[in-house]
Structures are given as C-alpha cells and as structure tokens.
Amino acid sequence: MAFISTRSAPTTPSSLRSASSSATSAKKSGIHASQALAKQKAYEKKAKTYKLPLGELAIFTQQLASLLNAGLPLVQCLEALQDQTEDPVFRVIIRDVRIEISQGAAFSTAVKLYPKAFNSLFISMVEAGEASGALAEILSKVAAYFESSVKLQKKVKSAMTYPIAVIGLAVALVNVLLIFVIPVFAAMFADFGANLPAPTQMLIDLSDFLKGNFHWLLLGAGGVWWLLNKFIATPKGRRIKDESLVKAPIFGNLIHKIALSRFCRTYATLIRSGVPILRTLEIVAAASNKVQVEDACAEIAKHVSQGGQVSEVLASNSFFPPMMKHMVKAGESTGNVDGMMNKIADFYDTESEATVASLTSLIEPMLIVFLGVVVGGIVMAMFLPIFQLGAVAGGLQ
C-alpha cells in the first residue's frame, strides 16, 4: 500500500523573499495604475474648460492641413496628432474629437464641444471647409493667420519684457533701500542732534511710513487691483479700458494698429474662405477683443443687411483711418475686398513691427534716466547730511 505524504515543501528564505517581492511589485503597479487613472480623469475633467494657447492651435492646424493634403483620412490624421501631442489635456480633446467623428459626427460639430480650445474663427473655417469640400486648403489659410498673429504677439511681448523687468527690479530695489537701508542712516543721523536737510527728512519719514504700514499697503494694492478687475469685467468698465488704451500716450498707437490689423486679417480670411458676411462680422467682433471693433461690426452688419457697403460705415467711424476707408472702397468697386483687407493687414503688421522697434529703442534710455533719477536721488538725499556734516552736527567752530 502506497503512502502519500501530506507535508508541504519546506519554506526557504529565498522563496519568502520572492513572494514578498512579488507582492510589493503588485502593490506598486496597482498604485501606479491608480495614479495614472486619477491623472487621466483630471485631464478629462479639465478638457471641457481648457483654453488652448494660440501657438499650439496654430501648430495643430498646420499639421492637420499638411496631413489632409497628403491624402490621409481625417480620423487617421487626428490619431497621428493625438499620439505626437505632448499636452496631456489637448491629447484628451483630440481623442474625444476623433471618437465623435468616428461615430458619424461632422468635424465642425465635434470641435464645437470644446469652444475654449477651438475658437470661433477655427470652428467657422472648418464649417466653411466642410461646405466647400476644401478643408485642407482652408485650414492652411487659418493656420497662416494664427501663425502671423502669434508672431506679432511674441514681438510685442519680447519688447515689453525688458521694461517690465527693469521697472519691477527698480521698484524692488527702492523698497529695499527705504525699508532696510535708510533706517540705518536715520539712526546714525539721530545722533547728530540737528535738523536734517528737507530731502533727507522726507526720505526718512517715507521710510518710517513704509516700514510700519507695508502690509497694509500690500493689502490695499491687492484690493484696488481686485476692484479694478471687477469693474473692467462690466460692459462700462471694459469700454472705458479699451478707449483709454487706444488713447494712451506711448502704447496707444501700437494697440490701435494691432486692432486694425486683426480686424482686416480676420475679415479677409473668412470672406475668402466663403463664410457669409454677417457670420464673418460676428466672428471678427468676437476675435477683436475691442469694443470699438465690436460696435463697428454691429453697425456694418446692420448697414449691409439693408443693402449698404462696408466702406460707408468705415467712412463715418473715427476708429478707422482714412487710408483704410479708401482702400476698402476701392476693393468694393473692383470686387476684391478680401485682397484689399489683406494688404491693409500687411501694412499695419509692418507698421506695428516698426512701432515696437522704435518703442524698444525709446524705452531703454528713458528707463536708464528713470533709474538714475530715482536711485541717484535717494543716494544723494542720504549723503547730503554727510556733505553738510559741519552744519548738521551743530557746527564745529
């Protein structure tokens, strides 16, 4: 009779370590999977309200147009762009748009689900491309428009970075001098026991005030900034802001030219792509971000719907210069309004770049003079008692 052993195999230290390692690895992989799932859900939640930067939208549009020109189906193009997109939130948006199209939705309908990522200009151009059957060609046009807008924005930002950085540094330096350095001099001058020169005394009083009320000043500045933003968010505040910016002494001319260029370029791009004029005016008004252009577009739409022409409204609106009015009128007489608008946009783009260059060359010496006056004035005021040491100390004779 055979006997069967019921004893299990002996447990060795190596088998225990192997089992423990497997359990640890399984636990870690589970944690990583949970973290990845949580991140994915966060990206999907953020996708609904995600505002895609114009630069990324320009790249996406150009790449999509190139893939469509190569003959690839739209779904396959979106799949390729989804794989190569580094932005995880935008990757989710492209995936959802691709799924919607795979289920039978139109491209324009799918992108409308994400109005923050795809602006009204992009959506309208896609609709025009689908209606005309020339989606790739129209996407190439809108990509060129986006790229020119991004290029101009970068030039303006790069020109503004230097003065903003210098002014910020100057403000920080002056605060350090007033709060930390001047009290040391004030204590030294107090030992003299004599009246200080007026500039020095004023600077010491300002230093004492800042040192004792700095936190209240920060809170007050924050409160004023919050109230200002709330006011600007109202229709009246926005109108005052836009009108003030255009009339600003240094940057107003540049802001005006950029607004005119954007108006003309957007109008020409949409009209050339076959978008109806009333819809074009709605998009131009939304893309302008200026109340002056919005008012003009509303007036033009009303005038055109009654059988009038665009140039007639521009001629009666002081926001648009005479040169622009005459060129648009010439375009209407020759049936080439979009071509004329593009030429006007090119002109104002060139003017804007020249204005940015001249402002940069003008701002640099102004900042140097500003820093010299402020910092030099503080230094001179603090050393003035030393220069007049005999009088301040009560006289040595």
Give Cα 227 distance to the centre of its chain.
21
The string of DSSP letters for 50-99 reads ----HHHHHHHHHHHHHHHHTT--HHHHHHHHHHH---HHHHHHHHHHHH
CA distance 98 to 105: 9
266, 310: one domain: yes
Which residue range is the domain that position 375 belongs to? 147-397
For residue 49, tell me if it sits in a domain. no
94, 152: one domain: no
Given this model, what pLDDT does residue 11 score?
A: 55
The string of DSSP letters for 123-151 reads HHHHHHHHHHT-HHHHHHHHHHHHHHHHH
Question: CB under 8 Å to 294, separation ≥6 — which residues?
Answer: 285, 288
70, 194: one domain: no
CA distance 157 to 150: 10
Given this model, what pLDDT does residue 95 score?
A: 92
pTM passes above 0.95: no
Given this model, what pLDDT does residue 28 score?
A: 60
For residue 124, tell me if it sits in a domain. no
177, 72: one domain: no
pLDDT in tens, 235-263: 898 899 988 988 888 788 888 988 898 89
275, 372: one domain: yes
CATH of the domain at 68: 1.20.81.30
Given this model, what pLDDT does residue 48 score?
A: 83
CA distance 122 to 141: 10
CA distance 134 to 127: 10
Given this model, what pLDDT does residue 3 score?
A: 46
Q: Which of 101, 118, 135 is the last residue of a domain?
A: 118
Q: Which of 118, 133, 164 is the last residue of a domain?
A: 118
Given this model, what pLDDT does residue 177 score?
A: 83
- For the chain, the domain total comes to 2
Given this model, what pLDDT does residue 284 score?
A: 87
165, 97: one domain: no
Mean pLDDT by 10 residues, the chain (397 residues): 48 56 61 71 83 90 91 91 89 92 90 88 86 85 86 80 82 84 81 75 86 83 91 89 86 88 88 85 85 91 88 88 89 88 89 83 81 84 73 47
77, 223: one domain: no
Given this model, what pLDDT does residue 226 score?
A: 92
